[in-house]
A = this chain, B = another copy of it.
Amino acid sequence: MRDKEETRSKILEAVGKILEEEGFQGIGVNSVSRKAGVDKVLIYRYFGDLPGLLREFASSGDYWPSMHGLIENAERTPLPPESSDLALALLKGYIREIRNSPSAQELLLGELVSRNELSEVSAMKRERQGADLIEALVSAAPDAGKVDVAAMGALLSAGLTFLMLRARNSDAYLGIDISSEEGWERIERAMEELVKGVLDNGQ
C-alpha cells in the first residue's frame, strides 16, 4: 500500500490477466480495478483514462510472443535445406506460438473487432515483426525471386490465424476438426504441400 509504482504495476498486470481470462471484451475500468484490488479512481489518476492505460500496457508489455526468437530458431535449423524448409519452419513455429498464447489470440481478435488504443499498438508491433519475418524468408529463399513471398506468407499466416481464432469457439471449419491435433496435422500437411509445390517446383 501507499506505493504508487506497485499500484501502477498491479493495474498493468490486471490488464494482462483479464486479457487472458476474459478476453479483450472484459477489459474496462471497473473490471481492471476490481482485478487489481485497487480503486478505479487510481486508474484515472495514473493513466488519465482507459485508452491511456491500454496504451501504456501495450507499449510496455511482453504479451506478444517474440517473433525474433521464432526467426532465430528457424535459422538455426540444419542447412542447407530445401528452400521451402525455412518458410515451413517459420509457419509451424507461428502455429505453436499463437496456439500456446491465449493473450496473443485475444490481441489478434481485438484487432479484428475494433480499433482502439490496444489494437493500434499491438498491430504496429506485429506488423514490424512480421516485416522482419518476411524479410528473413525472402532473403533465405534464393530462387523465390519470381514469386510473391510476402503475399503468400500473408495469406497462409492469415489462414492459420483465422483457424486458431476460430478453434476457440468452434469445433470444425469446412469439415476440418480444428479442435483436435489430427485436424491440425492435416492443416500443417496441406500447408506443406502448398509451400513445397510453389517453392521447390524446380526439384
What residues make up the interface of A, taking CB atoms closer than 8 Å to B?
25, 109, 111-115, 119, 123, 127, 130-131, 133-134, 147-148, 150-163, 165-166, 168-170, 172-176, 186-187, 189-191, 193-195, 197-198, 201
Which residues of chain B are near A130, meaning CB under 8 Å? 173-175
**Chain B, Cβ-Cβ closest to A198:** B197
Told that A111-B166, A112-B168, A131-B175 touch, could you supply 16 new A-B pairs with CB distance under 8 A?
A: A112-B166, A112-B169, A115-B170, A119-B169, A130-B174, A150-B176, A154-B159, A154-B175, A155-B190, A156-B159, A158-B163, A158-B173, A159-B159, A193-B198, A197-B197, A198-B198
Which residues of chain B are near A25, meaning CB under 8 Å? 113
**Oligomer copy total:** 2
- Bound complex: CA A150 to CA B191 (Å): 12
**Chain B, Cβ-Cβ closest to A133:** B174
- Shortest beta-carbon distance from A80 to chain B in Å: 21
- Bound complex: CA A187 to CA B152 (Å): 7
- Indicate if the CB atoms of B109 and A112 lie closer than 8 Å: yes
